[in-house]
Amino acid sequence: MGLSIDELIDIAQRTRRNVLERLKFKNAGEIVGRGAGGDFTRRIDRVAEEVIVNELKRRGVQVTFLSEELGIMDINGGGDLFVVDPIDGTTNAIRGVPVFSLSIAISSGKTLNDVYMALVLNFVTGDVFYAEKGKGSYLNGLRLKPSNVRSIDEALIELDLNIRGKFLGYLKRITPIISKARHIRFLGSDALAICLVASGASDAFIDLRGILRITDISAGFLIAHEAGAIIYLGKKTPSDIVLSATSRTPIIVASTKELFNEIMSIIS
């Protein structure tokens, strides 16, 4: 049994209600383990994940569940890959910074190119970005389209700057973009940042660290692609990128080809 987009949205909204309620508890940020992707799992991550898993079981949905926290698990006998980041922006969530999201992608195969349904939910606002392959992207039912911004000096650009001293030379590489862009943002939820490019709220998202997990961007990728954004994944194509808890990639998402080309001319 598969899921319709409406059923997927319902699962996401149920997850949102549970997460927002549990964030009121003092132990929401407690470390309860280490995920398959290598990072610590917080209690609130597990809450979100358990809601989704239980909903899939209750509805009889046959999927192979894949997440950074849980790893991989067959549900109701297994099926298409159900790729989840239960909370993208966990640090924001537990610190009270109101920017964190839920990311779900469903794939018929093992690569990013096989993703055919995607959803990113803004936990704070309840806004839902979603897409089905070949059917366009939407925000709360309204069709998405990127902005028409063509140059960096007119652009609002989001950069993932979470480097923690590990990437020597990274800041030097992106400083020309920081100095030239009209506005710079760092939200702390990459799935949401990609969707904001798809919607035209921002003009580009750049993460060249090469450590961004596929579980974080698999849903955003389809949403941005269906909206018509330009997407760069380093030297790989979507067919090269395996959907796993440990797969990582650089990414650039830009609103127009002209803006993308200017970004590439600076960082190359």
pLDDT at residue 170, as a whole number? 82
pLDDT at residue 134, as a whole number? 97
Asked if 223 and 256 sit in the same domain, the reply is yes
How far apart CA 169 and CA 249 sit, in angstroms, is: 18
Report the phi/psi class of residue 96: left, alpha or beta, with left for phi > 0 and alpha for psi in -120 to 50: left
pLDDT at residue 161, as a whole number? 82
Confirm if 253 and 204 have CB atoms less than 8 A apart: yes
CA of 125: how far to CAs of 16, 42, 215, in Å?
10, 22, 22
Asked if 200 and 160 sit in the same domain, the reply is yes
pLDDT at residue 36, as a whole number? 61
pLDDT at position 168 over 90: no
Asked if 122 and 185 sit in the same domain, the reply is no
Confirm if 163 and 209 have CB atoms less than 8 A apart: yes
Please provide the average confidence, as pLDDT, over all residues in the chain.
Answer: 93
Is the pTM higher than 0.85? The answer reads yes
The model's pLDDT over 65-92, given as tens digits with 9 standing for 90+, comes to 999 878 899 999 999 999 999 999 999 9
With helix as H, strand as E and coil as C, how does the chain read? Answer: CCCCHHHHHHHHHHHHHHHHHHCCCHHHHCEEEECCCCCEEEHHHHHHHHHHHHHHHHHCCCEEEEECCCEEEEECCCCEEEEEEEEECHHHHHHCCCCCEEEEEEECCCEHHHEEEEEEEECCCCCEEEEECCCCEEECCEECCCCCCCCHHHCEEEECCCCCCCCCCHHHHHHHHHHHCCEEECCCCHHHHHHHHHHCCCCEEEEEEEEEEHHHHHHHHHHHHHHCCEEECCCCCHHHCECCCCCEEEEEEECCHHHHHHHHHHHC
Structural domain of 215: 152-267
pLDDT at residue 29, as a whole number? 81
Q: What's the CATH code of the domain at 29?
A: 3.30.540.10
The model's pLDDT over 221-235, given as tens digits with 9 standing for 90+, comes to 999 999 999 999 999
How far apart CA 170 and CA 164 sit, in angstroms, is: 11
Domain's final residue, options 126, 143, 160: 143
> How many residues appear in the chain?
268
Half-sphere exposure of 57 (CA within 13 A, CB side): 9
Asked if 209 and 228 sit in the same domain, the reply is yes
**Angle at alpha carbon of residue 237, lines to 72 and 133, rounded to 5°:** 70
Asked if 159 and 131 sit in the same domain, the reply is no
Instruction: Order across the sheet with 63-67: list the strands.
Output: 71-75, 63-67, 80-88, 101-107, 115-122, 128-132, 137-139, 142-143
Asked if 133 and 162 sit in the same domain, the reply is no
Asked if 9 and 136 sit in the same domain, the reply is yes
- The number of distinct structural domains making up the chain is 2
Residue type, 127: D
The model's pLDDT over 10-53, given as tens digits with 9 standing for 90+, comes to 999 999 999 999 999 888 888 877 666 557 789 999 999 999 99
pLDDT at position 188 over 80: yes
Q: What's the CATH code of the domain at 215?
A: 3.40.190.80
